[in-house]
Structure 1
Amino acid sequence: MSSSELPPSEVLQHVVDVHCHPTDAPSILPESMEKLDITICAMSSKPSDQPLVYNLAKSHPRKVIPCFGYHPWFSHLVCLRGDVSKEDHYRDLFCTSSAEDLEDLEAFNTLLTSLPLPIPLDNLLVDLRRNLEEFPHAMLGEVGLDRAFRIPYDYNASARKLSPFTVPIQHQITILQAQMDLAVELGRNISLHSVKAHQPTMELLANMETKHGVDRWNKISLDLHSCGFKPEMLKDIQRRYANAFLSLSTVINGRSPNHLSLLKVCDPLRILVESDYNDVDMCTEQTWGMIRTTADVKGWTIETEWNENESDSSKWGVVRRLEENWLRFKAGHHSAKKK
């Protein structure tokens, strides 16, 4: 099989793309979903795409696992109190200096005109709960922390011009923890984004385990999506948390050889794969690329046909192994790790 060749449908039907954004595309053609052989975990990230993911999952329940949540890039759209004005909310987030720079004030006033009314956190959680309860197998995602992202003046512009503002990490943590609390309550797995926020992420995981207790925390699974951690940090997380899995994508992780090091040190029972793509027509190809990389690094064979009755796990190829990992991730209820 060449590097670009896909296996037959009987193999692809056992592949799960654990993180993608198909509803970010302007539209999804019906024939695209019809020819999709793999299962996709379709992420939402902002107010406008929660119903898009909902509708996609309703239309294609056997191919789409819906994931509802609010990404850190959009956490500034959420206010912690319902009685705060639009200007006060955004000013509290972005104008933190007592001696404000004139240039920053001008940037703030320009940005303010493009920003919507903030959504009270309580309202967001009501909608999030409703969506998660509508789909018993739905996940929380994409959620997380990001210390690198700057707020664009117009997110939907073809060439985004970035403002000088970032969302304070404590605000992000508050929004994220509220969503994760709901996931633990409902027993839902989580797809977690972390960029330039490794230490706050570690502290959050420790706080979640302490708050909810080891048993409740281990009932759910946590996917470190397109993970960019250093290998030693990944080893530490998996040593501490039995519910922590790793998924990588070629589009994000393929930019750096670090992803090969992550695969080398990752527990082979906790590797997942993803495309992180916003074009459903490319999800299969992108996910398969990471499957091939995983097989190369781990020394696993790649299936060209499917043997349903193969019970000897030593003979399993990469697709079978990843499918078993997905089923383990999906089921949750992990045994506590010794720290």
Structure 2
Amino acid sequence: MFLTDSHIHLKALPISADVSKALLVSIDRSEWDMVCDFAKKSPSCIIPAFGTHPWFVSKVSQREEYLKQLWFYVQSFPNSLLGEIGLDSSKRHLNSFALQEELFFDQFKLANQLRRPISLHVVGEVSVSSLCQFLRAFPLCRPPSISLHSFTGSLTQLRQLRNAFGEDTNVFLGVSQRLSGRLPLAKLHRLILEMPDNRILIESDDEACNQTYISDLESVAGILSNCKNWDLAQSIINTHNNFLEFALCPQ
């Protein structure tokens, strides 16, 4: 099978044998060792990603020490990424936004320094604005590739982000049944059609074992087929190749 999962969480493991490649993201420091273990057990399938999710930035009390540890873990796996990191300015998380910015921009700079891709959580107009402002202020700080993981913002926000990253970063759109599938179908189609054929990824974003895991990935492939006028097999192969490019995997 050529099915790929560009964003899955620890609690959703083990991954089905029908998936050829999966990006295993972490939400905070407590998950890094387990991510390492799974990546070592399944090196041909699992690509590890390290970082702290914006919802959990308050757990990082000593930022300099945290960044040293993050550097060590990322360097321990030549194929590893940064993720899940980002910004969330939704009402529930707005009170921690200043702290989110501090940690996210440090993690972002580390990804640029080590030339690693990022699985990016960006939710809310304030988050998009903050990230675009940061990118304008640091025009040379550009990791090789970014996945806008389960992005549910507006078409305008998507265009703002792509323009802000410019040509030095390959920007991908991650589409999931779990989150993207909640959008009105017309909006989801507009987001997908905005992206070039080689900049679309399939993801589960599963946080627990899911009996419909494979069918959910295939459902997303079906949505892409309808939008892009691909057949299902072509949709799966195209997103497989896109995943390899996003994650900088040898092809």
Smaller-chain TM-score range?
0.7 to 0.9
Q: CA deviation at 1:170?
A: 1.6
Q: CA deviation at 1:326?
A: 2.1
Aligned to 1:246: 173
Count of aligned positions: 243
Q: CA deviation at 1:278?
A: 2.2
Q: Which stretches in structure 1 are left out of the alignment for 5+ residues? A: 1-11, 79-118, 152-165, 304-316, 333-339
1:225 maps to 2:149? yes
The partner residue of 2:11 within 14, 21, 24 is 24
The whole-number CA distance in structure 2 between the counterparts of 1:17 and 1:37 is: 7
Q: Judge conservation of contact 2:11–2:209 (CA < 8 Å) in 1.
A: no
1:288 maps to 2:218? yes
Q: Judge conservation of contact 1:42–1:65 (CA < 8 Å) in 2.
A: yes
Aligned to 2:229: 299
1:177 maps to 2:105? yes
Q: Judge conservation of contact 2:29–2:52 (CA < 8 Å) in 1.
A: yes
Aligned to 1:77: 59
Read off the aligned partner of 1:177 and give its amino acid letter: F
The whole-number CA distance in structure 2 between the counterparts of 1:252 and 1:267 is: 21
Q: 1:77 to 1:211 in 2, by over 3 A?
A: same
1:321 maps to 2:238? yes
Read off the aligned partner of 1:286 and give its amino acid letter: D
Aligned to 1:146: 88
What RMSD, in angstroms, separates the aligned Cα atoms of the two structures?
Answer: 2.3
The whole-number CA distance in structure 2 between the counterparts of 1:60 and 1:171 is: 35
Q: Judge conservation of contact 1:38–1:284 (CA < 8 Å) in 2.
A: no
Q: Judge conservation of contact 1:17–1:283 (CA < 8 Å) in 2.
A: no
- Note the alpha carbon deviations across 1:180-236, whole angstroms, 9 max, x for none: 11110000000111122x3433432442464251xx61x510111000111132133
Q: Judge conservation of contact 1:245–1:329 (CA < 8 Å) in 2.
A: yes
Q: 1:65 to 1:255 in 2, by over 3 A?
A: same
The whole-number CA distance in structure 1 between the counterparts of 2:20 and 2:42 is: 12
The partner residue of 2:134 within 191, 201, 207 is 207
Q: Pairwise mapping of residues 183-202 of structure 1 onto structure 2 (< 5 A)? A: 183-196=111-124, 198-202=125-129
Q: CA deviation at 1:256?
A: 1.4
**Structure label with greater radius of gyration:** 1
Q: Judge conservation of contact 1:245–1:270 (CA < 8 Å) in 2.
A: yes
Q: Pairwise mapping of residues 35-50 of structure 1 onto structure 2 (< 5 A)? A: 35-50=17-32
Aligned to 1:134: 76
Read off the aligned partner of 2:192 and give its amino acid letter: L
The whole-number CA distance in structure 2 between the counterparts of 1:147 and 1:328 is: 30
Read off the aligned partner of 2:82 and give its amino acid letter: L
Higher helix share: 2
Q: 1:189 to 1:138 in 2, by over 3 A?
A: same
Q: Which stretches in structure 2 are left out of the alignment for 5+ residues? A: none
- Note the alpha carbon deviations across 1:219-260, whole angstroms, 9 max, x for none: 510111000111132133334433211111111111111222
Q: Which TM-score applies when normalising by structure 2?
A: 0.87
The whole-number CA distance in structure 1 between the counterparts of 2:202 and 2:15 is: 20
Q: CA deviation at 1:33?
A: 4.7
The whole-number CA distance in structure 1 between the counterparts of 2:160 and 2:56 is: 29
The whole-number CA distance in structure 1 between the counterparts of 2:219 and 2:71 is: 35
Q: 1:34 to 1:221 in 2, by over 3 A?
A: closer
Partner SS for 1:292: helix
Q: 1:137 to 1:283 in 2, by over 3 A?
A: farther
Q: Which TM-score applies when normalising by structure 1?
A: 0.66
Q: Pairwise mapping of residues 69-148 of structure 1 onto structure 2 (< 5 A)? A: 69-78=51-60, 119-148=61-90
Identity %: 27
Partner SS for 2:122: strand
Read off the aligned partner of 1:139 and give its amino acid letter: L
